[in-house]
């Protein structure tokens, strides 16, 4: 599998309430709101004829592998397989995330990681890994 090119963030974040915890204790009502946000990512489609889909990985605090596998998207699940785009939700406020994507084929072969994108609730950009690892086990 060839490495995917031009992995990028394409939409600014949207905030929403992730959960609302309500406690009733001796007639005292406490409410805690936790803010979360979402980001939409896109990349250039892999044009290999045996492409089955894509896998997305992330990591908090360090741009280098190993990454955690967060989701798998078959070509059929994508709204437009020629312009792959996915939304990642439930991102915690004030946390820096690093994302990469791979392609995989019908035999289960997986490409190397794409370029690394970092996001927070208020910024995003390209990141680099100073490690010489390329796949680093692919995360879990």
Task: Provide CB contacts within 8 A for 100, sequence distance 6+.
Answer: 7, 56, 57, 58, 67, 113, 114, 115, 116, 117
Mind listing the pLDDT tens digit for each residue in 62-111? 999 999 999 999 999 999 999 999 999 999 988 999 999 999 999 999 99
CATH superfamily of 8-127: Immunoglobulins (2.60.40.10)
Separation of alpha carbons 137 and 130, rounded Å: 17
Mind listing the pLDDT tens digit for each residue in 15-26? 333 333 333 333
Secondary structure E strands in 47-123: 51-60, 68-74, 85-92, 97-105, 116-119
Mind listing the pLDDT tens digit for each residue in 100-133? 999 999 999 999 999 999 999 888 899 999 864 4
pLDDT for 121 equals 87
Q: pTM score, two decimals?
A: 0.74
Q: Which sequence spans correspond to the domains of the chain?
A: 8-127
Mind listing the pLDDT tens digit for each residue in 19-64? 333 333 333 444 445 678 889 999 999 989 999 999 999 999 999 9
């Amino acid at each position: 599998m060839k490495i995917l090119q031009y992995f990028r963030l394409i939409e600014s974040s949207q905030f929403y309430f992730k959960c609302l915890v309500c406690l009733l204790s001796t007639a005292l009502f406490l409410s805690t709101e936790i803010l979360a946000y979402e980001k939409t990512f896109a990349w250039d489609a892999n044009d290999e004829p045996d492409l089955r889909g894509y896998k997305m990985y992330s990591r908090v605090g360090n741009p280098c592998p190993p990454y955690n596998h967060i989701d798998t998207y078959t070509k059929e699940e994508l709204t437009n397989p020629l312009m792959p785009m996915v939304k990642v939700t439930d991102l915690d406020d004030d946390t820096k995330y690093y994302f990469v994507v791979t392609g995989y084929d019908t035999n289960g072969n997986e490409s190397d990681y794409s370029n690394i994108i970092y996001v927070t609730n208020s910024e995003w950009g390209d990141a680099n890994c100073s490690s010489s690892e390329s796949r680093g086990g692919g995360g879990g």
